[in-house]
Structure 1
Amino acid sequence: MSLLNQENVIGQDRLKNHNIKKYEFKTITSEMIETNKEAAHITETPIVEHTQEEAQNMENTESNAQKIATLEQELVEKLLQKTDELSSSLAKLQIQFEKLQVESEQRVASARDEGYKDGFREAQEKAKEDMFAEIDAQKKALVDSIITLENALKSSQKHLEELEKELSAISVDIAREVIISEVGENSQKIALNLTRELLNSIMDATNIKIKVNPNDYIYLKEHLEDNTKVEVISDNAVSLGGVVIVSDNGNIDGTIMSRYKNLKQSVLENMRD
């Protein structure tokens, strides 16, 4: 769709803060004569946890998010400003057009009085040519400015998308550090809560073996001793805070890093989409 056919470049919720009007030029009469008019130039404005390290990473993430919001706000304000400038330029052109028409009519009357009919017709044609040339130049300048604004908007949107992807990747890495730190301090409670959550998905199983890290073994054995279907096994292959459940209904890998990898893969897939 042509840019000139679009209803608005600016969102409806911001139109009320700006005076944007559609200008219509009066029809040129057959009595207009030659005159000089300064071109109104439209100036194009280019658009242009637990450790100090984790805290710093989280602070950087918040700062980047703030920059994204600021960049988007600045872009919208620039678009609104450019629209106001274009509207003002069209208003000036309309005034100049009307002034030229009045002057032309006056000169026509004078030419008639003096009997310069041939000169009048020649001046009329010249005035028409000059007027249409000026209008075409103004239209072209307006279209060029709108195209420049649209390109700047697309470029900014692409930059924002790249920043969002970068922030998502940083957030996942920060989450990994937080998880590792939390597991190091509360691995036994994490393993117990994870075990109870996973057991809810295999309530029909009758023979359940739960493999846990040796550091978490005693804690889980004490808290699960009332469950006669469960056998807790110490296994060095299982990381702190993680569990591996083996049952007649199937096996479940509940290690922390396994769950983290699934989370990261999901985030990365969403970023690609």
Structure 2
Amino acid sequence: MLLNDPEEQDLIHQSRRENHNIQRYQFKSIDKNAPVMDYDAPVSDADGGFQQETNNIFSNSFNEQNINSSLEKELIEKLLQKTDELSSSLAKMQIQVEKQQLDLEDRLALTKSDSYKDGLRDGEQKAKNEMLEEIQKEKQSLINAIIALDKSLKNSEEKLAEFEKELAQIAIDMAREVIVKEIEDNAQQVALSLAKALIGSIKDVAQMQLRVNTLDYPFLRENLELKNIQLEADDNISRGGVVISSNSGNIDGNIMSRFKILKQSVLENT
């Protein structure tokens, strides 16, 4: 900047001067008696050097101001550039943060899904184990019931066997009573029927001896065919009974003896 340029000498631009009251500044001397300097009047050569030095000072001052202004503008531009770069970096960071957040949400969702699947599998396995345990309990209960039933059946069979023996004993006792009653009422007829049955079971015998109770003897003598038979009365033979003797052996047809044999056979088979 040169002070010789009329428009460059003033700090206020010419287009803005109408808004200001501008007057030339007059330097006052330190000496009270010194005359006031008129800057509009022509200067002498002695004063010309001072005027030139003053102009140089103002020129340097304006140059410094312009330099400072240029530095300030450059600094502001750099700050704006840094601000733009920072804003761009912040935007990129924001995008990256949002991307990481989305990625985190996806991972979280996947983790939840995996956890749900794991929980579902664990639940299914737990339910399966509980079901197997319940089935095992039911199976064991069924086995215990079968064992108890088998034991009960065995006890029932034992009791049934005892009951059958008791029934057989009762039946035998009842049969004995019937036989005794029949013998008392029809001893002669019983002896006759028994003698015929025993004689009919013996074959190829030339001679045999038939012994009956004394009270039954007359009835059998009259009603029994005595060919090759020797009939004898014997008080040792119970009424209704018959004993046959031959060369083939003896046959005890005593009713009570036969009853005892029958009773023993029945009780042994029950």
TM norm structure 2: 0.53
Compute the displacement of 1:119 (Å). Answer: 4.4
> Percent identity over the alignment?
38
CA distance in 2, matches of 1:113, 1:222: 120
Give 3-state SS (helix, strand or coil) of 2:204's partner. coil
Tell me what 1:259 maps to.
258
CA distance in 2, matches of 1:263, 1:122: 80
CA distance in 2, matches of 1:207, 1:140: 81
CA distance in 2, matches of 1:268, 1:243: 25
Tell me what 1:235 maps to.
234
Give 3-state SS (helix, strand or coil) of 2:216's partner. helix
Report runs of 4+ in structure 1 exceeding 4 Å deviation.
none
Tell me what 1:218 maps to.
218
**What are structure 1's unaligned runs of at least 5 residues?**
1-111
CA distance in 2, matches of 1:157, 1:146: 21
- The CA deviation string for residues 153-190 of structure 1, in whole angstroms up to 9 with x for no partner, is 33333332332222122111211111111111111011
Compute the displacement of 1:257 (Å). Answer: 1.0
CA distance in 2, matches of 1:165, 1:132: 53
Tell me what 2:182 maps to.
182
CA distance in 2, matches of 1:183, 1:260: 13
- The CA deviation string for residues 32-61 of structure 1, in whole angstroms up to 9 with x for no partner, is xxxxxxxxxxxxxxxxxxxxxxxxxxxxxx
Find the partner of 2:144 among 142, 147, 156: 147
Alignment map for 1:100-249 (pairs within 5 Å): 115-149=112-146, 150-151=149-150, 152-224=152-224, 226-249=225-248
CA distance in 1, matches of 2:153, 2:132: 27
CA distance in 2, matches of 1:240, 1:179: 11
Compute the displacement of 1:114 (Å). Answer: 8.4
Give 3-state SS (helix, strand or coil) of 2:138's partner. helix
CA RMSD, 1 decimal: 2.4
Mean Cα displacement is larger for which, 157-166 or 259-268?
Answer: 157-166
Compute the displacement of 1:146 (Å). Answer: 4.7
Amino acid paired to 2:196: R
Tell me what 1:269 maps to.
268
Highest RCO, 1 vs 2 (Cα 8 Å, sep ≥ 6)? 1
- The CA deviation string for residues 195-243 of structure 1, in whole angstroms up to 9 with x for no partner, is 011111223222211111111010001112x423112111010001001
CA distance in 2, matches of 1:144, 1:155: 21
* Cα separation, partners in 2 of 1:122 and 1:114, compared to 1, 3 Å: closer
Amino acid paired to 2:252: D
CA distance in 2, matches of 1:141, 1:211: 74
Give 3-state SS (helix, strand or coil) of 2:226's partner. coil
- The CA deviation string for residues 45-96 of structure 1, in whole angstroms up to 9 with x for no partner, is xxxxxxxxxxxxxxxxxxxxxxxxxxxxxxxxxxxxxxxxxxxxxxxxxxxx
Count, aligned residues: 160
Give 3-state SS (helix, strand or coil) of 1:237's partner. coil
